[in-house]
Amino acid sequence: MPYVADTIAKLKRTGPAEIEYYQAVEEVLMSLRPLLDKDAKYKKHNIIDRIVEPERQIMFRVAWIDDKGQVQVNKGYRIEFNSALGPYKGGIRLHPSVYAGIIKFLGFEQIFKNALTGLAIGGAKGGSDFDPKGKSDNEIMRFCQSFMNELYRHIGPTTDIPAGDIGVGAREIGYMFGQYKRLTGRYDGVFTGKKINWGGSLARKEATGYGAVYFAQNMLAAIGQTLEGKTCVVSGAGNVAIYTVEKLQQVGATPVTVSDSRGMIHHPQGINLATLKQLKEVEGASLSEYAQRHPEARYTAAADYPAGRNPIWSVRCDAAFPSATQNELNEADAVALLKNGCSCISEGANMPSTQGAIDKFLAAGISYGPGKAANAGGVATSQLEMAQNASMQQWTFEEVDSRLHAIMNNIYQTVSSTAAEFGQAGNLVLGANIAGFRKVADAMIDQGVV
């Protein structure tokens, strides 16, 4: 399609080597042809060229001192992509893989994910190539304070409200908020993902994983099935994966895998949730320790993975929950999943499937929930945290979880009905992209050329 090729060519010329960003843009734009053919106003107002350009890109140096007294330097990013629907909202990622292309892809996806929640939030993302692994609490604190020395100028409770992501949990949010408060003298609801005792929300930690399961339940209910009794594979071992495992067990499914950067566990009898939480939330240990505590489980080190493959996706299963990171599931993995009987995929990570894998899932006609819809529970609950902060209240776990469940049901209904509207019932990729784009684009048109 000419407009897709032209847009990608322009992005490559003006922002070279941002591979993940090009992938995210192409995936969205390829879905929009039915909408653009139906309604000329989006071309008239040149929404495509406008929506792929961030409203603001902030890049800065982060200098900090390690425990040996040595000065270290990292790159910091905040990309405020689109505020047509509300203040910028999106996480901060700390990982050595972070560069401008990763942050732009995440911020672009965040626009449409946030739009699908139905809440008044725009899209943004931030981060740094700083690696928290192996760092002391004091080193992480010094990095976070230096990071905030620049970022504080650009955020606020009605402008940009960051949250956590890979490498950023309640500890890091606390250090960043403390420095923001020191610099501004304000106690604002400027971050979400805070600890419960100073403004955080119950169920926030669980929200992305729970939401991915709720979305899967909706997809299966549409074809008269449930998750009860189903064998499930889950990738990752962070918050998303842990609480996907927890919710799957609560609804009667059996999750049998988890993974981290060093390897994967396959436990055919079902993942022991208590052990997983102890290792990852308390000890910060490798999953190799899991196999030592459960000899019936098999640990495979990442160094022993087949070339270009993730063995999790070769485990026989009924449903899969990719919950680790981008592009972790490729076309060959998709073929293995389908061959082994997988008929439902709900993405807990951002863009975990390559385009080749997505094409296989859509061609097979399975229940496939793309990340911008299936993992929107995390940012939705962040907005619920903002609402609690603004009203100076704290809701119960049950109230937040109930609202989360309703939001995920609504997201499913929105993307499903949009796919049907354009003659592609069941294609939730098309439904999510068109529904999210249309809501943002209509707001951009209403607000003029800004």
- Catalytic residue numbers read 125
Contact 54, 24 (CB under 8 A): no
231 - beta bridge partners?
254
Q: Is the dihedral of CA 202, 207, 213, 217 positive or negative?
A: positive
Contact 419, 430 (CB under 8 A): yes
Contact 161, 86 (CB under 8 A): no
Residue with tokens 């609690």: 388
Closest CA to 279 of 323, 232, 238, 312: 238
Residue with tokens 């040595």: 70
Sheet order of strands, 263-266 included: 257-260, 263-266, 298-301
CB burial of 206-223 (b: ≥16 within 10 Å; e: otherwise) equals: bbbbbbbbbbbbbbbeee
- The H or E element containing residue 162 is strand 160-163
163 - beta bridge partners?
91
